[in-house]
C-alpha cells in the first residue's frame, strides 16, 4: 500500500485550465436532428446530487479504498481551437482517472461483499456501449461484464437513461430526467478547475463523474 492515496484524495484532483483560441470563423456545435431544445419543457434543480448526499452514501468507501496517485500534468496545456481538441484533452485528463476510480471502488465493494446489486460499470467513449440509429454519444457508462459495444449506455446515452451530463472546458453540468415529458433537473455547474482535499473535499469534476457512475451502476439507471 506504499505511495497510495484514498479514493477521495484521488478524486479531489483539480483539472488544469484549458485555454481557448477560437478560430476566426467558428462552425456550429455538433448536434443531432432527433433532438431539439424545444423537447425540454421544464428545468428544475436536482437537490439530491451534492457533496453531502455523496458522502452520506459513499464516504466510507471513498476513505477506505486506495490506489496509486495520478497527479495532473504540470506543463500547461496548449490552447484548443476546435471541439476535437477539447475532446482529446478530456480523454487525457478525465477518462482514465474516472475509469480507475470506478474500478477501485467496485473492487473494494466486492472485497467486502457490499455490492448490494450494483453492476460494475466503466467510463469511455460512446462506442463502448451499443450504438442506436448511428447516434454516437461522446461518452458512455457501460457494464464491464458485457462485450464491448453490446450493452446499453447507462448515462448519457439514448437508452432511456435517467442521468446525463454536459462537460466543457469551463464547467460540468449534471442532470437527470424527471419523466418522459421533457422535464429535467440540473445540478449547479461544477467549475472545470474545482479541486479540494480529503480534509476539505469539494465537488470536483472527477468526483461528480465518479458519483454519476455509481448512480449508473444502480438498477434504477433507466426510466
Tell me, what's the pLDDT at 35? Answer: 77
| Residue-wise pLDDT tens digits, 168-213 | 999 999 999 999 899 999 999 999 999 999 999 999 999 999 999 9
| Residue-wise pLDDT tens digits, 112-148 | 999 999 999 999 999 999 988 877 888 999 999 999 9
Could you check whether the bond before residue 156 is cis, i.e. omega within 30 degrees of 0? yes
Cell numbers linked to 34: 432527433
Tell me, what's the pLDDT at 171? Answer: 98
- Residue 22 included in any domain: no
Tell me, what's the pLDDT at 1? Answer: 53
The residue-averaged pLDDT of 153-162 equals: 84
Tell me, what's the pLDDT at 222? Answer: 87
- Residue 18 included in any domain: no
Percent with pLDDT over 70 in the chain = 99
Whole-number Å distance between alpha carbons of 146 and 41: 35
- Residue 27 included in any domain: no
Total number of domains in the chain? 1
- Residue 145 included in any domain: yes
- Residue 125 included in any domain: yes
209/39: higher pLDDT: 209
- Residue 152 included in any domain: yes
Pairing of strands 183-186, 42-45: parallel
**pTM for the structure as a whole:** 0.94
> Domain of 96?
5-13+41-71+82-217
DSSP state of 218: S
- Residue 223 included in any domain: no
- Residue 135 included in any domain: yes
DSSP state of 126: G
Amino acid at each position: 500500500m506504499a505511495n497510495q492515496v484514498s479514493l477521495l484524495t484521488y478524486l479531489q484532483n483539480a483539472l488544469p485550465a484549458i485555454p481557448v483560441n477560437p478560430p476566426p470563423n467558428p462552425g456550429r456545435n455538433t448536434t443531432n436532428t432527433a433532438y431539439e431544445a424545444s423537447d425540454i419543457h421544464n428545468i428544475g434543480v436536482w437537490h439530491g446530487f451534492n457533496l453531502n448526499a455523496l458522502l452520506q452514501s459513499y464516504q466510507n468507501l471513498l476513505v477506505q479504498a486506495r490506489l496509486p496517485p495520478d497527479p495532473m500534468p504540470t506543463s500547461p496545456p496548449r490552447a484548443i481551437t476546435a471541439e476535437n481538441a477539447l475532446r482529446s484533452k478530456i480523454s487525457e485528463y478525465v477518462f482514465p482517472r474516472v475509469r480507475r476510480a470506478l474500478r477501485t471502488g467496485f473492487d473494494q465493494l466486492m472485497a467486502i461483499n457490499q455490492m448490494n446489486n450494483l453492476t460494475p460499470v466503466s467510463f469511455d467513449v460512446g462506442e463502448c456501449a451499443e450504438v442506436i440509429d448511428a447516434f454516437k454519444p461522446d461518452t458512455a457508462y457501460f457494464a464491464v461484464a458485457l462485450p464491448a459495444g453490446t450493452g446499453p449506455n447507462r448515462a448519457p446515452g439514448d437508452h432511456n437513461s435517467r442521468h446525463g451530463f454536459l462537460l466543457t472546458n469551463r464547467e460540468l453540468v449534471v442532470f437527470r430526467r424527471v419523466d418522459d415529458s421533457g422535464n429535467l433537473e440540473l445540478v449547479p455547474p461544477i467549475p472545470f478547475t474545482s479541486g479540494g482535499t480529503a480534509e476539505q473535499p469539494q465537488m470536483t469534476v472527477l468526483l461528480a463523474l465518479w458519483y454519476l457512475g455509481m448512480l449508473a451502476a444502480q438498477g434504477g439507471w433507466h426510466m
